[in-house]
Chain A
Amino acid sequence: MIEIDGITKRYDGNTVVNNVSMMIEPRTVTVIVGTSGSGKTTLLRMINRLVEPTSGAIRLDGEDNRSMPGFELRRRIGYAIQGHGLFPHRTVAQNIATVPVLLGWDRARIDAKVAELLTLFQLDPAAFANRFPHELSGGQQQRVGVARALAAEPKVLLMDEPFGALDPIIRAKAQADLLAIQSLLGTTIVLVTHDMDEAFHLAHKIAVMDKGALVQYGKPAELVKDPATEFVQTLIGTSERPFRLLSIETAGDAVEPGPADGKPLAETISQRDALSELLWSGRAAVPVVAADGTVLGKVTLEGLTRRAAKPQ
């Protein structure tokens, strides 16, 4: 659990982060969004004290993050950034081993951890461990960057625009991998991005920052249904609202009783994808099936349309 308690950061009288308080639940993905200059990155960097706050406190599992030297704190918190920041003079294995080495782990434990992480990130240890970062593709570099951040098994992982430098296809894959690894390891992730689609795709909760202030903090659906300010509304996109709403919940949530013809949809796909399928195939309803193939019912054009409408 991360408690951010009345955090303020001023530079030369310029307030960058203004009295932000929020609670981040353990084992969730929290995404901080905002335009550039909104203070989102500064807020993130105050959690691992790359930036020292002007006032306020941040507690990790109840412990003030100033109770130990900054560098020791940072060894316990994973940190991944845009453009990966890999050390160009060190091999992939040495890069991943950075924090374990700083913590003084023994050789065997480090080697095992490096191999484990490389495998987890679908990089063959035999082929990649001894390569240098410049010998990798952009997507591979990014994966090594996240692996390095996770090497010392941190409970918390901070990510600053981690996928910003990737092209759309690789980015989608990286996002899916991140979600899979998060649910596997149960790491608490705080991620900063300016990309609303990324936020809706990854977040359990979204925090919207504007001009240094936290203007809204809640589940994605709450943001769409009840945007706190005009800014949040603009950020979500007026014409995007119905689709965002549909993208949060799955087809299983919208099942109506009754039969329907045609190729069935999986219950796990988003309602947005279900709507897309209905529109494209020109049908009014399609069956929905569970993972084991049992038919749960149907989703209808009419039903989905109602769900996408402005909540009363």
Chain B
Amino acid sequence: MRVLIPYLLRLALLVILIAFLVVPGWFDPLLKPLVRDNAPAIYNQGSLLTLTLLHLRTVAIATTGAILVAVTLAILVTRPFGAEFLPLSRSLVNIGQTFPPVAVLALAVPILGFGEKPTLVALFLYGLLPIFENTLTGLTTLPSSVMEAARGSGMTDRQRLFKVELPLAMPVILAGIRLSVVISLATATIGSTVAAKTLGEVIIAGLQSNNIAFVLQGGLIVGALAVLIYDGFSAIEHVLARRAGLPARA
């Protein structure tokens, strides 16, 4: 029974989240005490469900792009012909992480204008880093005896990559993607400062009209999404790691 409690909690969180998005009116009494002067307690300038879906779509597009680019790059710099770029790519990743997301967002606006595009670029650039770093870690820390055996048994470079290296590195790569998605979910809210349609709109509307209820619901929806997606990814990683015969990571 005790083993089930975490799953039940997550299921409950998912149910509450969906209920809130579909019939927010039910939660009106809960949030009412937070607002003054009969201000609305539930976001009323658009559908929460639509904003949530748009939010997720933005994150999904940016993350997909980031995965494709980051994994490809990491594979390239770990091949013999790209090895020369490995130290540099490490430094660039390190430097890239020092760019604050707000700055990336703000600097993308002059080139791309307002709306979803600068947000996508900021999320993409910021999402690259954890995935790249983890893929690199995954591909460079493979047990040397396994790699030696793969070469020794006559696998071609391509067979080694797809049959041994990537499957073994997959749990670490997924952990990077998970980190990237969670960061992107939170960062996407800032996109609303440049008029992207995300849940940030709810929060900013709350800040502007001094409506704590708005801020709270916007923040909690994003938080709940992050927790659920984080757990989902962790579960997949766990299964993969177990199947790969690797010690399960926390």
Residues on A lying within 8 angstroms of B by beta carbon are 48, 50, 71-76, 79, 81-89, 98-99, 102, 132-135, 145, 148-149, 158
Contact B149 A87 (CB under 8 A): yes
Known: A102-B159, A132-B245, A134-B245. A86 touches B154 (CB 8 A): no
Q: How far is the CA of A73 from the CA of B150 in the complex (A)?
A: 13
23 contacts between A and B (CB under 8 A): A50-B151, A71-B154, A73-B154, A74-B154, A75-B153, A81-B149, A83-B143, A84-B145, A84-B149, A85-B146, A85-B149, A85-B150, A86-B149, A88-B143, A88-B168, A88-B245, A89-B168, A89-B245, A89-B246, A98-B153, A99-B154, A102-B155, A132-B245
B145 touches A72 (CB 8 A): no
Residues of A within 8 Å of B155, CB to CB, are 71, 98, 102
Contact B153 A86 (CB under 8 A): no
> Once bound together, how far apart are the Cα atoms of A106 and B167, in whole Å?
24
Task: Give the residues from 137 to 155 in chain B that come closer than 8 angstroms, CB to CB, to chain A.
Answer: 143, 145-155
- Chain B residues near A (Cβ < 8 Å): 143, 145-156, 159, 164, 167-168, 243-246
Q: Which residues of A contact B146 (CB under 8 A)?
A: 85-88
Q: Which residues of B contact A132 (CB under 8 A)?
A: 245
Inter-subunit contact B152/A102 (CB<8 Å): no
Q: Is the CB of A81 within 8 A of B145?
A: yes
Contact B153 A99 (CB under 8 A): yes
A74/B145 in contact, CB under 8 A: no
In the complex, what residues of B have CB within 8 A of residue A88's CB? 143, 146, 168, 244-246
A75 to B244, alpha carbons, bound, how many Å?
A: 24
Residues of B within 8 A of A73 (CB): 154
- Report A-chain residues with C-beta under 8 Å of the C-beta of B168: 87-89
- Of chain B, the residue at the smallest CB distance from A73 is B154
Contact B145 A83 (CB under 8 A): yes
Contact A87 B164 (CB under 8 A): yes
> In the complex, A169 Cα to B154 Cα: how many Å?
32
CB–CB B153/A148 < 8 A: yes
Q: Interface on chain B toward A: helix, strand, loop, or mixed SS?
A: helix
With A and B bound together, what is the CA distance between A265 and B243 in angstroms? 52
Q: Which residue of B lies closest to A74 (CB)?
A: B154
Q: Which residue of A lies closest to B142 (CB)?
A: A88
> Closest residue to B247 on the A side, CB-wise?
A134
A86, A89, A98: residue with the most chain B Cβ atoms closer than 10 Å: A89
Inter-chain contact A102/B245, CB cutoff 8 Å: no
Other A-B pairs, 4, CB within 8 Å; known A98-B155, A134-B245:
A71-B156, A75-B153, A75-B154, A79-B153
Contact partner, B152, options A81, A82, A135, Cβ 8 Å: A81
CA distance A87 to B145 in the complex (A): 9
A76 / chain B contacts, CB cutoff of 8 Å: 154
Inter-chain contact B145/A82, CB cutoff 8 Å: yes
Q: In the complex, are the beta carbons of B148 and A133 less than 8 A apart?
A: no
Most B Cβ at <10 Å: residue of A50, A74, A82, A133: A74
Decide yes or no: A89 and B153 within 8 Å by CB, A81-B145, A82-B145, A102-B159 being known contacts. no
7 nearest A-B residue pairs (beta carbon): A85-B149, A75-B154, A79-B152, A74-B154, A85-B145, A88-B245, A89-B244
Which residues from chain B contact A75 at a C-beta distance below 8 Å? Answer: 153-154
User: Do A74 and B152 have beta carbons less than 8 Å apart?
Assistant: yes
CA distance A144 to B178 in the complex (A): 36
Interface centre among B149, B152, B155, by most A CB within 10 Å?
A: B152
From A50, A88, A133, name the one whose CB has the most chain B CB atoms within 10 angstroms: A88
Nearest CB in chain A: distance from B244 CB, A: 4
Smallest CB separation, B248 vs chain A (Å): 11
Q: CA separation between A85 and B245, bound complex, in Å?
A: 13
> What is the bound-complex CA distance between A102 and B152, given in angstroms?
12
| C-alpha spacing A98/B154, complex, angstroms | 9
A89 CA to B146 CA, complexed, in Å: 11
Q: How far is the CA of A72 from the CA of B151 in the complex (A)?
A: 11
Give the chain B neighbours of A133 by CB distance below 8 A.
Answer: 245
- Which residues of B are found within 8 Å of A89, using beta-carbon distances? 167-168, 243-246
Chain A residues, CB < 8 A from B147: 85
List the B residue with the shortest CB-CB distance to A148: B153
Q: How far, in angstroms, from A139 to B154 measured CA to CA in the complex?
A: 24
Q: Which residue of A lies closest to B244 (CB)?
A: A89
> What's the Cα separation between A92 and B150 when bound, in Å?
15
Do A48 and B152 form a contact, CB below 8 Å, given A81-B145, A82-B145, A88-B245? yes
